[in-house]
Amino acid sequence: MSNFLNNSEEEIYNEFLQNGYIIRKSSNIPILNDLQNYIVESSAKILGIKEILDNQDWLNNIHKFVKPENLNDFRLKVIHSITSNDYFRKNYYNVSRNYLDMIVGNELAMQLRINLSIQLPMDNSSLLPVHADTWSGDSPFEAVVWIPLVDCYKTKTMFILPPNKTEDLHENFELKSGKNSKDLYENIKNDIIWLELKYGEILIFNQSLPHGNIVNQESETRWSMNCRFKGIFTPYKDKKLGEFFEPITLKPLSKLGMNYNFPKIKS
């Protein structure tokens, strides 16, 4: 197979294949800051707070204002404010655009709805048990862009199972999966990698690899967003184009080709 990649592209190409993910500083920090500012302003407005002096301090300590029993209602209100912003999805894409071009392609379909995770300290109501998205109907051609709004570390972040360990799991799935996700986690916990990111960095990962989180045992709240991207012309599974995904970078020749009709010839 020919390889026309430049050195930086080849580095990211190989790293993603080997690790199942890349972590890089966003090449568009001003837009990322705009996303964070919008989340901070929206959350403060929901809680009736008029002035925020420091974005990360506010987000890290939101548990002082939101109780676990009110968290989901609060999270849904913040998500509603995101979906009502016409530019939020476009800015989300632009934060990671250059890396998506290298890993997924430049004719992309983007998930219609951006997901928001808020994990309070010692709260077990916002857990995402170990899973691979492909196990529940996602296409293996999808990648997830995971953007932290605060520094994420230790149990305040997510974990992922590396590709080589995932292959071993798949080959011995009946033996290792157990009766539930808790059994599965216990069987792979020594092989998982905890992904540490500082605010300003982004994670792009292969959602075919098992991943998840556990109870946040740190003293700060975790805020992160995630959204799926795939090549427009790659295979879809349960989540279809127009229902779950929307084309965002369709090229003119592709559009012309999709609408092309052969000339009619009278018989």
Distance CA 173, CA 158 (A): 22
Average pLDDT, the chain: 95
pLDDT at 44: 98
CA distances for 217 relative to 68, 106, 155, 157, angstroms: 14, 39, 6, 10
Q: Is 16 helix (H, G, I), strand (E, B) or coil?
A: helix
Overall average pLDDT of the 141-164 stretch:
98
Q: Give yes or no for a contact between 232 and 250, defined as CB atoms under 8 angstroms apart.
A: yes
Position 195 scores a pLDDT of 98
What's residue 100's pLDDT?
A: 97
Encoding tokens for residue 192?
């998982």
Q: Distance between CA atoms of 211 and 205, rounded to whole angstroms?
A: 10
Q: What is the pLDDT of residues 14-39, one digit of tens each?
A: 999 999 999 999 989 999 999 999 99
Closest CA to 130 of 82, 77, 187: 187
Give 266's pLDDT tier (boundaries 50, 70, 90): confident
What percent of the chain has pLDDT above 90? 91
Other beta carbons less than 10 A from residue 184's beta carbon? 21
What's the distance, CA 246 to chain centroid?
Answer: 16
Q: Which two tokens stand for residue 230?
A: 């795939």
Contact 56, 150 (CB under 8 A): yes
Say how far apart CA 168 and CA 216 lie, in whole Å.
28
CATH topology of domain 16-233: Jelly Rolls (2.60.120)
By C-alpha distance, which of 120, 145, 140, 141 is closest to 213? 120
Domain ranges of the chain: 16-233
Q: What is the mean pLDDT of residues 84-107?
A: 96
Average pLDDT value for residue range 128-142: 94
Whole-number Å distance between alpha carbons of 64 and 62: 5
Per-position DSSP letters for 17-54, written without gaps between them: HHHSEEEEE-S-HHHHHHHHHHHHHHHHHHHT----S-
Which of 170, 226, 237 shows the shortest CA–CA distance to 202? Answer: 226
pLDDT value of position 235: 96
